[in-house]
């Protein structure tokens, strides 16, 4: 039996703060429907009731209202009880999911209940599996069974898995293995102390963002010790600030990039038997050297690739002779020091086009 108050036809998810805007646009499309922004105080939600053609209205919302992040047609609206939801979901799934397809259940629970979203996923998944003989695939399912719970009401929707935006999907390869080979050799930015520290912070943050193998700060000859200290303090501050964010937000283990200091000339000498790539405007356009880059990075015997990045002064041209490649990533444009390392990393990843 459907819940006496449960007559939700469409569930719209929005960016918080845009609920009233979306509701207004929906009423412009169809003034006869009942639109409820922020139902029961739940932010980022707009509910639509009393639709004559919910499928047609949903398509119009998708095509006309960009503030609508996700538009879910409720195939059913029932009491927010896990067993009731599961039984109804099984009935719907028989018509929407074939035995040779895969599916996943996604539940979002709003309000106070004596069960969790995971509990709902488990029982609904079991009922749907038995009703359809379809297999569960939580990563890349053909169909999504979406359960949206609003305190005492619950909607059930089914939509293609291709409509689910994910960071990783078939055809995209993770690049962590490539990044794990990169040794960023950065000449320090020295000069006025405020600018020196700021530059160090920015470089530290971008290096930690990519979790490369290591960062080596490589001055040339005699440098001002205090300026170098201020720059390094900034680097460590930038690494630490980004690392803390990664630890909180990543669903995987992260690592803090180690930092070393070595004179640039001595570093090149000590790593003569490792790949060395210089990034300077005098080099070849990086796109033209794709095959050479692939032969370096995709060689499993290569454990470290040294990528030399200049600063206020570029990499000395004498080092070019000892480099495997000298590359220009953006002909005609001079990349500022705080963007140079990140630009080089992203350019290499783009040319390589995938993981090792």
Lowest mean pLDDT among 91-95, 170-174, 267-271, 282-286: 170-174
CA–CA separation, 91 vs 67, rounded Å?
A: 32
Asked whether the predicted pLDDT for residue 356 surpasses 70, the reply is no
SS3 (DSSP) at 147: strand
Percent of the chain at pLDDT > 90 equals 90
Asked whether the predicted pLDDT for residue 96 surpasses 90, the reply is yes
Closest CA to 308 of 221, 182, 200: 182
Within 8 A by CB and 6+ apart from 172, the residues are none
Domain ranges in the chain? Answer: 8-163, 176-352
> At which residue do the structure tokens 């000498």 appear?
269
Residue 277 backbone dihedrals phi, psi, to 5 degrees: -125, 125
Bridge-based pairing state of the strands 182-186 and 259-261 = unpaired
| CA 1 centroid distance within chain | 42
Query: pLDDT at position 5, please?
Result: 53
Residue count (the chain): 356
CA–CA separation, 51 vs 12, rounded Å?
A: 14
CA–CA separation, 294 vs 175, rounded Å?
A: 13
Looking from the CA of 233 toward its CB, the CA atoms found within 13 Å total 13
CA–CA separation, 8 vs 14, rounded Å?
A: 17
Percent of the chain at pLDDT > 70 equals 96
pLDDT digits (tens, 9 = 90+) for 216-260: 999 999 999 999 999 999 999 999 999 999 999 988 899 999 999
Closest CA to 267 of 199, 190, 322: 322
- 190 — pLDDT class (breaks 50, 70, 90): very high
Return the structure tokens found at 356. 């090792």
Residue 284 backbone dihedrals phi, psi, to 5 degrees: -75, 150
Q: Decide: 185 and 307 in contact? Cβ < 8 Å.
A: yes
Query: pLDDT at position 168, please?
Result: 63
Query: pLDDT at position 165, please?
Result: 81
CA–CA separation, 45 vs 161, rounded Å?
A: 21
Same fold, 8-163 and 176-352: no
- 6 — pLDDT class (breaks 50, 70, 90): confident
CA–CA separation, 190 vs 230, rounded Å?
A: 9
Asked whether the predicted pLDDT for residue 154 surpasses 70, the reply is yes
Q: Where are the beta strands (DSSP E) in the chain?
A: 8-14, 34-37, 45-49, 68-73, 76-79, 102-110, 135-136, 143-150, 153-160, 182-186, 214-217, 259-261, 276-285, 305-309, 325-328
Query: pLDDT at position 1, please?
Result: 40
Q: Decide: 34 and 73 in contact? Cβ < 8 Å.
A: no
Q: How would CATH label the architecture of 8-163?
A: 2-Layer Sandwich (3.30)
Asked whether the predicted pLDDT for residue 139 surpasses 60, the reply is yes
Q: Decide: 255 and 213 in contact? Cβ < 8 Å.
A: no
Query: pLDDT at position 105, please?
Result: 97
Lowest mean pLDDT among 143-147, 169-173, 176-180, 276-280: 169-173
> 10 Å Cβ neighbour count for 26?
23
CATH number of the 176-352 domain: 3.40.1280.10
């Amino acid at each position: 039996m459907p819940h006496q108050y449960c007559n939700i036809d469409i569930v719209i998810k929005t960016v918080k703060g845009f609920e009233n805007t979306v509701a207004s646009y929906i009423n412009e499309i169809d003034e006869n429907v009942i639109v409820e922004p922020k139902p029961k105080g739940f932010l980022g939600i707009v509910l639509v009731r009393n639709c004559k053609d919910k499928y047609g209205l949903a398509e119009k919302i998708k095509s006309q209202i960009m503030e609508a992040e996700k538009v879910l047609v409720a195939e059913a609206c029932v009491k927010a009880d896990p067993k009731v939801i599961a039984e109804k979901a099984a009935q719907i799934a028989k018509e929407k999911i074939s035995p040779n397809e895969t599916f996943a259940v996604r539940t979002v629970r709003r309000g106070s209940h004596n069960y969790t979203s995971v509990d709902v996923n488990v029982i609904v998944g079991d009922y749907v599996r038995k009703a359809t003989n379809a297999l569960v695939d939580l990563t890349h399912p053909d169909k999504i069974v979406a359960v949206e719970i609003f305190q005492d009401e619950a909607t059930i929707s089914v939509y293609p898995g291709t409509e689910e935006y994910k960071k990783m999907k078939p055809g995209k390869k993770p690049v962590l293995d490539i990044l794990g080979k990169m040794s960023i050799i950065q000449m320090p930015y020295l000069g006025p102390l405020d600018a020196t520290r700021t530059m160090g912070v920015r470089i530290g943050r971008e290096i930690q963002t990519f979790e490369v193998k290591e960062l080596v700060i490589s001055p040339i000859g005699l440098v001002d010790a205090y300026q170098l200290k201020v720059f390094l303090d900034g680097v460590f501050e930038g690494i630490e600030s980004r690392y803390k964010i990664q630890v909180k937000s990543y669903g995987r283990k992260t690592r803090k990039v180690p930092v070393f200091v070595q004179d640039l000339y001595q570093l090149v000498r000590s790593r003569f038997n490792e790949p060395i790539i210089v990034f300077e405007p005098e080099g070849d356009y990086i796109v033209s050297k794709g095959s050479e880059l692939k032969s370096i990075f995709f060689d499993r015997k290569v454990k470290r690739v040294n990528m030399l990045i200049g600063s206020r002064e570029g990499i000395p041209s004498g080092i070019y002779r000892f480099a495997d490649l000298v590359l220009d990533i953006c002909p005609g444009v001079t990349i500022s020091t705080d963007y140079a390392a990140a630009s080089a990393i992203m350019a290499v990843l783009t040319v390589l086009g995938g993981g090792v």
